[in-house]
Chain A
Amino acid sequence: MKNKSLFNILFHRKFDSRSDMYHFIGERVSHHSTLLTSEVVDTLLQREQAGNIQIAEHVLLPHFESSKLKESQIVVVHLHEAISKWNQHVSDIKLVIFILLKRDETLDTKKEITNFMRNLADQDYIEKLLHADSEESFTQMIIQ
């Protein structure tokens, strides 16, 4: 059984663009940390510039590590409608998985994140996530 508090699942959410989504995450994070919304957004944008964050067709994995985070989180966002143009190179995004890692996180939590990552290397698993039709089944796929 997975540690439920690590995961934040948002099913069938509507976001118009990258900045819309990053802003939302930034605000969320700012409530639970000493990070400002703009800091979170900047960090995410910087990561995107440093290297491609796309991990499969329709799927992105923005992630960063910070000492200002109080706890690590995985935020999985299943989009109600695809974001047709994410940035210059990336388009048609339906699933965004945020990894927000607290610096010097415990080994147990890191392992948990790692296990989830390994699942994401499996194209079948990705397909299932993309095509999930209810919040319940979607959550189950992730938590169990």
Chain B
Amino acid sequence: MGSKKDREKRLLLLLSKNQGYMTSEELAQLLETSQKTVYRVIKGINDNYSDGVLIESEKGKGYKLNYEKYISQYITQSSRKSNYSPAERRNRIMERLLLSSPRSEKVYELFEPYYVGDSVIFNDEQRIASKLKEYDLTLERKQRTLAVIGKEANIRRAIADLIQMHNIIDIDELKSNQELNFNNYDVLFILDQLRVIEEQLDITIPYPYNVNIFSHIYILISRSRKVGLLKLSDNHSISEEEQEELQNDLSLYRVAKTTISNVENYLHQELPEVEVYYLYQYLVSSRMQGIVRKMTSFSTKVVEVTQTYLNEMSAYLNISINSDSIFLDLANHIKPMLNRLVHNIRVKNSLLDQIKITYEDIFEYVSEVSKVISEKYNLPVINQDENGFITLYFARIIETNQLPIRTLIMCTTGVGTSELLKVKIKKNFPELEVVDVVSTRDSKKYLERYPEVELILTTTHLNENLPVKTLLVSAMLTADDQNRIQQKIKEINNEK
């Protein structure tokens, strides 16, 4: 984090989220950097932009994104192919080494396409080695060759994190995506396997789990083609413990077995027995839609963890969450999540940056609750990607159950048109909570009595300037009145 590219991305996200101007000071604070850096990043973005400026500035106001340009740029940018950045170069080399591990590759051949000198190569080696260390893998250098040494499971984990799959949201896009450099036959074969899995289980596997399973099978195919997995020393058969686990869900076990045997046929190569177990792990770690019979059969742990999230978050957010459908929805996410944690399966969250910026507070709360849950239930650390997913559940709860807006209704008498209006408002605007119906004469007094009031609807023009949003409507509550109320509600919710 903190690289130049990353900062540019985050700055653009911040500006795109904000419709008005933002000052360099605000931006610096949000990006946790200096104002000087903000100037530099903005200049960098604008200099690189061919058609005028992307970020507009105005004296005294600050900076604003030209949204139209930003959107159209986004579309063209993603099709850029050549000119790898140093980070991209290292990733591609690392991917190649991982795929052919434990076989060694000649240094010259690895770096040749990038036209770089010895000092760069030396530097890249250092960085790749330290990155691999995060996965308990070592980079071995022998007579101008490089090789990655370590456990198969770790190698796969590293490849999965590396492949830029997390930009793919629509799985069918894989068929035509040029950038990933995938073998097109493999892609079609795997997509077909996914379809078969869904058909056999009579479910759909939603994003991002489908992409995750895709990349698992893709890596399996690539690895076995490159090195022949049966030859590897740490390939092994299914242990008793694993066998027991496979019995937990026989239909998934069956599907895993069929799929692996299909892959064997496709590769004309036998695969280690344990591959069935690996794939099974991915399947139990995925959310599947359409399994009605399983909806109510959550383990105590799933129920407890889900309930903890709901309780803690409802306290944090100061809202009451007690709907069964919300519980079911979240529990259906938590169940595979716990499997992912135990099996060390990471699902990339392509929206993470956006989630962190858009739902900053919720994300922070969720992360804290996750920490508590990890400790209490003795689980591995719940990473940011997972916290991002959970954040979306609560963001949705808030958006759909936004607290009602406390509203006063006024007219000259407090019993005439206002009372009539109250009935109509209650019927048409459930998001408004009518606190009281009062007379305009005493408006100030009532505002003191109800300091939490956010909106005043009045049927007569108010002469006084009140510190709350007010709206003049007719007791008829015409379509025009309703539209204007709707707009006020939006305004108020946006400010919350």
A: residues with CB less than 8 A from B are 47, 49-56, 61, 63-65, 99, 101, 110, 113-114, 117-118, 120-122
Q: Could you tell me the distance between the alpha carbons of A63 and B414 in the complex, rounded to whole angstroms?
A: 10
Verify B417–A65 contact, CB threshold 8 A.
Answer: no
Evaluate whether A54 and B413 lie within 8 angstroms (CB atoms) in the complex, with A47-B460, A61-B420 already known. Answer: no
Contacts of A110 in B (CB 8 A): 415
Contact check: which of B415, B460, B461, B474 meets A117 at CB < 8 Å? Answer: B415
**Bound Cα distance from A142 to B441, whole angstroms:** 29
CB-CB under 8 A from A54, the residues of chain B are 474-476
Contact of A52 among B414, B419, B427, B459 (CB under 8 A): B459
**Beta-carbon nearest neighbor of A112 in chain B:** B415
**Which of B414, B423, B461 is in CB contact (< 8 Å) with A121?**
B423
Chain B, residue nearest A53 (CB): B417
Contact B476 A52 (CB under 8 A): yes
Of all chain B residues, which has the CB nearest A64?
B412
26 residue pairs A–B, Cβ–Cβ below 8 Å: A50-B461, A51-B411, A51-B417, A51-B458, A51-B460, A51-B474, A52-B474, A54-B474, A55-B417, A61-B416, A61-B417, A61-B475, A63-B412, A63-B413, A63-B415, A63-B417, A101-B413, A101-B416, A113-B415, A114-B419, A117-B415, A117-B419, A118-B423, A120-B420, A121-B420, A121-B423
Binding site for A on B (CB under 8 A): 411-417, 419-420, 423-424, 427, 437, 439, 441, 458-461, 472, 474-476
Name B441's contact: one of A49, A51, A65, A113 (CB within 8 Å). Answer: A65
Closest chain-B Cβ to A59's Cβ sits at a distance in Å of 9
CB atoms of B412 and A55 under 8 A apart: no
Contact A47:B475 (CB < 8 A) given known A52-B459, A53-B417, A65-B439: no
Residues of B near A113 (CB, < 8 A) are 415, 419
Ranked nearest first, the 9 interchain pairs of A and B with the lowest CB-CB distance are A121-B423, A63-B416, A117-B419, A51-B460, A50-B460, A52-B474, A65-B413, A55-B475, A50-B461
Which residues on the B side are within 8 Å of A120 (C-beta)? Answer: 420
Question: How distant is the Cα of A63 from the Cα of B461 in the complex, in angstroms?
Answer: 14
Residues of A within 8 A of B423 (CB): 117-118, 121-122
CB atoms of B459 and A65 under 8 A apart: no
When chains A and B are docked, how far (Å) is the Cα of A121 from the Cα of B475? 9
Chain A residues with CB below 8 A from B437, complex form? 114
Task: Check B417 against A50 for contact (C-beta < 8 Å).
Answer: no
Residues of A within 8 A of B474 (CB): 51-52, 54
Closest to B461 in A: A50
Contacts A51-B458, A53-B417 known; A63 to B411 CB distance under 8 Å?
yes
Question: Is A114 a contact partner of B415 (Cβ separation < 8 A)?
Answer: yes
**A95-B380 Cα distance, complex, nearest whole Å:** 73
A56, closest chain B residue (CB): B476
The residue on B at minimum CB distance from A66 is: B413
Q: How far is the CB of A51 from chain B (nearest CB, A)?
A: 4
Nearest A residue to B475 by beta-carbon distance?
A55
A99 near B461: Cβ-Cβ < 8 Å: no
The chain B residue with its CB closest to the CB of A57 is B476
Asked if B413 contacts A51 (CB within 8 A), the reply is no
- How distant is the Cα of A61 from the Cα of B459 in the complex, in angstroms? 11
Q: How far is the CB of A88 from chain B (nearest CB, A)?
A: 15
Distance of B484 from chain A, by nearest CB (Å) = 13
Chain B residue nearest to A118 in the complex (CB): B423
The CA of A136 and the CA of B416, in the complex, are separated in Å by 25
**Which of A49, A99, A118, A122 is the most central at the interface, judged by chain B CB atoms within 10 Å of its CB?**
A99
**Set of chain B residues within 8 Å of A117, measured between Cβ atoms:** 415-416, 419-420, 423
**Candidate in B427, B458, B459 with the most chain A CB atoms within 10 angstroms:** B459
Closest to B439 in A: A65
With the chains together, A99 CA to B413 CA distance in Å?
9
With a cutoff of 8 Å between Cβ atoms, the chain A residues found around residue B420 in the complex are 55, 61, 117-118, 120-121
In the complex, are the beta carbons of B419 and A65 less than 8 A apart? no
- Which of B412, B414, B415 is within 8 Å of A47, CB to CB? B412
CA separation between A139 and B101, bound complex, in Å?
95
CA distance A101 to B440 in the complex (A): 14
Residue of A whose beta carbon sits closest to that of B417: A61
Q: What is the CB-to-nearest-CB distance from B412 to chain A, in angstroms, rounded to a whole number?
A: 6
CA distance A114 to B414 in the complex (A): 9
Most buried by A among B412, B423, B461: B412
Give the CA-CA distance A99 to B412 in the complex, in Å: 11
Determine which residue in A54, A110, A117, A120 has the highest number of CB atoms from chain B within 10 A of its CB, and name it.
A117
Most buried by A among B420, B441, B459: B420
Q: Bound state CA distance, A50 and B414, in angstroms?
A: 15
B-side contacts of A99, CB under 8 Å: 413, 415-416
| B residues less than 8 Å from A51 (CB atoms) | 411, 417, 458-461, 472, 474
